[in-house]
Every structure is written in structure tokens, then in C-alpha cells.
Amino acid sequence: MLWHGERQGQGVSLSGERSVAGRHAKKAWGVQLADQWMSKDVHVIALLLEQVTEHCYIGVVGRNYFPSAWDAPLKESTHATVVHAADGRVFTKRSSTSFFLKPLESGARLQLTVDMSSREITYELFDPEDPSRVLSSLSVEGIPAECALAVCFGPGGEQRVKIVGSSIEKAVDDRGKMVKDLWDEENVVPPLKVNERSFGGQDGLTHGERLLRQHNATAFVAGQLEQ
């Protein structure tokens, strides 16, 4: 998964390989979407918040958002479910909710798990000093039936968000879903090209073993930050 290469929001620029979306403007807003629409399976997206200010929103938008101008705060969109960087509050379909993640700060690692079978998004914020430690997490139901990753940059200083990696997994039975942890170097997948998909099978781990793997994972993030 990369940022959309054929259209950018107001004032938004992309890195050459389209893994980083950024904006540096004193006024107005600019939104950037990723290049894949999610409508089935479980999608895991790892983000590095290289530089963010309080005027930043991160989450997903529905297909009906695409024709809009991409130049207004996503909290005002009826097609968006997003977290506000300033205080971690979740906004969905233009409404403020009682859900809070910790505030998003520069250097933070944010993992989004988008389960389209249940139409639910889970945010996990990792400790910048210890990538194996989850500082805060929450799940929000009722996301659009077809959606894309989105970031919204507001006025102020320079802002940059990098897509570190992504994966797609089949949802399993009601005992839970089986997804890859992108902070585990054994599960690293390169950014996917437009419309490209990768499917993994069952990993044979128990739920407890899978959680232990997640909490022991550090090498991937360290390697990415050294580049």
C-alpha cells in the first residue's frame, strides 16, 4: 500500500516512492488517500508519524469521499472515521465520540487493523522508545463498507506520515481473526503496488503465542528508522 499517486490534496506532496505524504502550509487543509480500497478481509497498516502537529487526523474514508475536494478537516466529513492527533479523540461521520486514543506525537508508530468482515478499525499506538509496547489501543465499529486509508494535514508546521508496510489476511472464525503484526520482522511485507494483494494462511500459533510474538517484536521498526 502506498499513497495515491494520481491525486493529492491541497498542498500535499509525496516522496518519490510514495511511501511518505507530507505538507507544510500556514493555512488551509490537505487530505491524502492511499492507493487501495478495502472492502473485504483484514488489512494491517503500519504507519510512522515522522512529523505531526495537533492539526492532523488519521483514519479511513469511504468511497463516496473520493469525489470531494480533499481540502477540509476529515472530522467534518460524513464519510470518515478518524483520530485527532491533538487529543486522540475519535470522530466518525462528522460526530465527536467518547472514544480516545492517546495523543499522536511526532515519531510515534501507529498500527491500523481494518477488519472489513466486521467493519471495524483498531488503532494501536506503540511506544517510540520501546516498539514492542502498546501504549494505547481502541476499536471503532461501523466504518464504511469500502474504505481507504486517509491522513489530513492542517495549518502549521511541517507534517509527514510514512506507510511502513501493509498486509492482507483472511478473517477466520468467531474465535478471532488472524493477522500479521507488522512490527515483527518475521512478518514484514514490502509496500504493495496498486491493486496488488497478498494472502497469508494460518500460522499455527495459539492466541497467547501470537500476543507474545507481538510484544517481543523490535527489530523491524529499528531497522526502518535507521534507513
Distance CA 205, CA 182 (A): 16
Of 42-51, 157-166, 218-227, which gets the smallest average pLDDT?
218-227
Q: Which of 57, 186, 43 is nearest to 122 (CA)?
A: 43
State phi, psi for 66 to the nearest 5 degrees.
-50, -45
The pLDDT assigned to 223 comes to: 46
Residue 202 burial (C-beta neighbours within 10 Å; 0-12, 13-18, 19+): exposed
Cβ–Cβ contacts within 10 Å for residue 186, how many? 11
Given the DSSP bridges, would you call strands 42-51 and 109-115 parallel, antiparallel or unpaired? antiparallel
Distance CA 227, CA 19 (A): 13
Place of cell 508496510: 165
Cβ–Cβ contacts within 10 Å for residue 174, how many? 6
- For the segment 80-109, what is each residue's pLDDT rounded down to a tens digit? 999 999 999 999 999 999 999 999 999 999
Of 32-41, 86-95, 115-124, 127-136, which gets the smallest average pLDDT?
127-136
Given the DSSP bridges, would you call strands 159-169 and 199-200 parallel, antiparallel or unpaired? parallel
Strand stretches in 30-183, DSSP E: 30-33, 42-51, 56-62, 80-84, 89-92, 95-100, 109-115, 120-126, 134-141, 147-153, 159-169
First to last CA, the chain: 19
Decide: 168 and 1 in contact? Cβ < 8 Å: no
The pLDDT assigned to 215 comes to: 45
Q: Whole-prediction pTM value?
A: 0.76
Instruction: List the domains of the chain with CATH numbers.
Output: 12-226 (2.60.120.920)
State phi, psi for 212 to the nearest 5 degrees.
-65, -40
Decide: 179 and 167 in contact? Cβ < 8 Å: yes
Q: Which grid coordinates belong to 214?
A: 507481538
**What's the mean pLDDT when you consider all of the chain?**
84
Of 15-19, 125-129, 190-194, which gets the smallest average pLDDT?
190-194
The pLDDT assigned to 158 comes to: 95
Helices (H), the chain: 207-216, 219-226
